[in-house]
Amino acid sequence: MTQTAVPPRTESPTPTPVKARGSWRPTDAFFHVTLAVWALVSVLPLLWAAITAFKPNDEVFGTPFELPSEWRADNFVRAWGGASIGQFFLNTVIVVAGALVLTMLLSTMAAYVLARYEFRGNRFLFYVFASGLMFPIFLAVVPLFFVVQNLGLLHTHLGLILAYTAYALPFSVFFLTAFFRTLPTAVAEAAMIDGCSHSGVFFRVMLPMARPGIVSVALFNFLSMWNQYLLPLVLNQNNESTAVLTEGLATLVAQQGYDADWSALFAGMVISMLPVLIVYLIFQRKIREGFVAGAIK
């Protein structure tokens, strides 16, 4: 279970210039040391958490640099069941999956119409969506709490799904509108002439064509939804049965005393880190590019 720190594919065929060979300089070593130190700083805390998660409870503190005297996999079992991490995990999966599907459906629909149809108010609606990128979420959280309460959706998965989706729309619509604009129009026109309906063109022609853009936006949304903290904190108000990982784990840690089951908490932390690290290891180049594209746009 220590994949936390497994470095991704390292067989990097860095184009080493032929001329460079033999001209080793002391500054190179200095550069490598600098980079290696930061690599260690990046990974060590994660590795420490992963190793600590296997320690017996009385070794969690006090021996940070030592391996466990015995490797206790049952920490993970206790975390999953006793500390409700399993419940949190399940809640997170339900909420993120629901919100992700809904976000992608709604944002592609809105973005497609905004990108491809001319009608009065088109630009205005685009800016209404885009302006959501400017508002800090904490300005809205308290009224949002009451909006969700009035709908009777506090402490529910549906309430969280709707909230996650609504707050993911500005970025998604903004990005996908730009993307739909770059797609060629000829295929859609041909389909129309062949008698395809507007929505038929969208679902059968445009969505498949827009796949690369949709995948980027979905990855970005997956990571930010999986990591969301403020929305569940406000909309769940520490209700354990619907808590997601970030919120539930933070609350658990805050409530622990000195005699707490720390090893199970560390195991819970590792469990909550794994999905994003696995998604990253699979899609790492795409994710890094997607993040950067999202930032520059």
Residue 6: CB minimum distance to other proteins, A: 10
Closer by beta carbon to other proteins, 72 or else 226: 226
Closer by beta carbon to other proteins, 186 or else 193: 193
Residue 211: CB minimum distance to other proteins, A: 19
Closer by beta carbon to other proteins, 10 or else 182: 10
Residue 73: CB minimum distance to other proteins, A: 20
114 to 129, 178, 184: CA distances (angstroms): 11, 10, 16
Instruction: Tell which residue, 249, 241, 247, 297, has the closest CA to residue 269.
Output: 249
| DSSP letters spanning the chain | --GGG------------GGGTT---HHHHHHHHHHHHHHHHHHHHHHHHHHHTTS-GGGTTT-TTSPPSS--THHHHHHHHTTSHHHHHHHHHHHHHHHHHHHHHHHHHHHHHHHH---TTHHHHHHHHHHTTTS-HHHHHHHHHHHHHHTT-TTSHHHHHHHHHHHHHHHHHHHHHHHHHHS-SHHHHHHHHTT--HHHIIIIIIHHHTHHHHHHHHHHHHHHHHT--HHHHHHHTT-GGG--HHHHHHHHHHH--TTS-HHHHHHHHHHHHHHHHHHHHHHHHHHHHHHHHHHH-
Closer by beta carbon to other proteins, 35 or else 97: 35
Measure the CA–CA gap between 88 and 205, rounded to whole angstroms.
38
Closer by beta carbon to other proteins, 186 or else 254: 254
Residue 43 CA to chain centroid, in angstroms?
19
Residue 243: CB minimum distance to other proteins, A: 12
Residue 224: CB minimum distance to other proteins, A: 9
Closer by beta carbon to other proteins, 139 or else 186: 139
Closer by beta carbon to other proteins, 25 or else 211: 25
Residue 10: CB minimum distance to other proteins, A: 4
C-beta of residue 166 within 8 angstroms of C-beta of residue 132? no
Closer by beta carbon to other proteins, 76 or else 202: 202
Residue 251: CB minimum distance to other proteins, A: 10
Residue 222: CB minimum distance to other proteins, A: 11
